[in-house]
Structure 1
Amino acid sequence: MTDFAISPEVLRATIAEALGARARSVTLALGEVTVVVGAADYIEAATLLRDAPGCRFEQLIDLCGMDYSDYREGEWQGERYGVVTHLLSVSLNQRVRLKVFAPNEDLPVVDSLQPVWNAATWFEREAFDLYGIVFEGHDDLRRILTDYGFIGHPFRKDFPVSGHVEMRYDEEQKRVVYQPVSIEPREITPRVIREDNYGSGLH
């Protein structure tokens, strides 16, 4: 492993050259390089980032889904669902962020990164569970955090904040069951700090 990573500017140029037309953009902000690729180029670009001499990102350290429908208060004009991956080169001491967007909002599908980095396995299951993003080619794509009978994807921006059913373990049936919510919904009113309490030491 090298003692010092190359500068972010050099890394950006190296990645842009390695990916060529496969990259929609290669940007630098706050000392971090972000690469955006199209869904059709996702696997090929990921493989180049792993294998190209100046890249050598051997390790996938994080992957998450994103719902951009409310991004920047609705100003976002791109695809709704995206996948963000963080890659690490241990041998060259450098990092990069890789983004891809699912072209179909109704059924968001992108290729699985399992063939490139096996570490993607559980991360992609989590993104599928929470966002409903389907990873084509994943060999075990099923829910990982919610119950198998759970309906919907709770990290989507349009998922209801309060539901109509609750889940519990039924001892007689020896399984998880769903039933109507037994608690009446209540309106939460913010606590008001009155001006006459300022300076009184009551905080």
Structure 2
Amino acid sequence: MADIAILKAVCETTFGDKVRYCLDRGELTLDCAAADYHQLMQILRDHQELKFETLIDLCGVDYQSYKNEPWEGKRFAVVSHLLSISNNWRVRVRVWAEAEDFPTVDSVVDIYNGANWYEREAFDMFGILFNNHPDLRRILTDYGFVGHPFRKDFPVSGYVEMRYDEAEGRVIYQPVTIEPREVTPRVVREEQYGV
């Protein structure tokens, strides 16, 4: 716990009031605005006392609702987890995207090369755009896919399915052919029907 206090003190002297600090379950979270995000990540990596040289993870988050309650505030955020190997420190950085229709933050691929595919995944799954990303395109869904499946307002059941058509030699989309059914737990079926 003493290490976290030291880390927080170094961050407070380095960033001042540009960052909101939060201690959660033994980990420090730095909340920043989209305008300050790129510079903050650069300083976290290059600062002599901080040395967060490793990006562990980067993901998108949809705060349309949080803990089963409506969320007040910006809807989309990008969360990064950084590691300082030399100091044995971890920090979480959360940046809030500016617009809900087209949530946008700066790319950090030029700072952390490993952010490339993480940012592409956040774009594909949440629709978060990354300024100055070298190759921002879908990475998990098909190019013809419409929407972003990890958004909380994405429909649970779809209207089309995709499959590979041997005759056409390509992926085709067609209306869903699966009929909805009632799923009954196995235990109930065995008792009721003697299976």
Give me the TM-score of the superposition, normalised by structure 1: 0.87
Does the alignment pair 1:9 with 2:24? Answer: no
- Which one of the candidate residues 136, 151, 158 is aligned to 1:163? 158
Give the distance between the partners of 1:141 and 1:187, measured in 2 at CA: 40
Residues 169 and 175 of structure 1 are in contact (CA less than 8 Å); yes or no, is this contact kept in structure 2?
yes
Residues 170 and 177 of structure 1 are in contact (CA less than 8 Å); yes or no, is this contact kept in structure 2?
yes
Aligned to 2:46: 51
Does the alignment pair 1:21 with 2:12? Answer: no
Give the distance between the partners of 1:37 and 1:141, measured in 2 at CA: 23
The amino acid across from 1:12 in the alignment is K
RMSD over aligned CA atoms reads 1.8
Which SS does the other structure have where 1:121 is aligned?
Answer: helix
Aligned to 1:117: 112
Does the alignment pair 1:144 with 2:139? Answer: yes
Aligned to 1:61: 56
Cα offsets for 1:103-149 (capped at 9, x unmatched): 10011010001111111000000000000000010010000001111
Q: Shift of the alpha carbon at 1:58?
A: 0.5
Which stretch shifts more, 166-175 or 59-68?
166-175
Gaps of 5+ in 1: 198-203
Residues 65 and 84 of structure 1 are in contact (CA less than 8 Å); yes or no, is this contact kept in structure 2?
yes
Aligned to 2:126: 131
Give me the TM-score of the superposition, normalised by structure 2: 0.91
Residues 6 and 94 of structure 1 are in contact (CA less than 8 Å); yes or no, is this contact kept in structure 2?
no
Q: Shift of the alpha carbon at 1:189?
A: 5.5
Question: Aligned pair in 2 of structure 1 residues 170, 134: CA closer, same or farther (>3 Å)?
Answer: same
Aligned to 1:201: none
Q: Shift of the alpha carbon at 1:72?
A: 2.3
Identity of aligned residues (%): 56
Give the distance between the partners of 1:114 and 1:135, measured in 2 at CA: 10
Which SS does the other structure have where 1:7 is aligned?
Answer: helix
Aligned to 1:84: 79
Residues 14 and 54 of structure 1 are in contact (CA less than 8 Å); yes or no, is this contact kept in structure 2?
yes
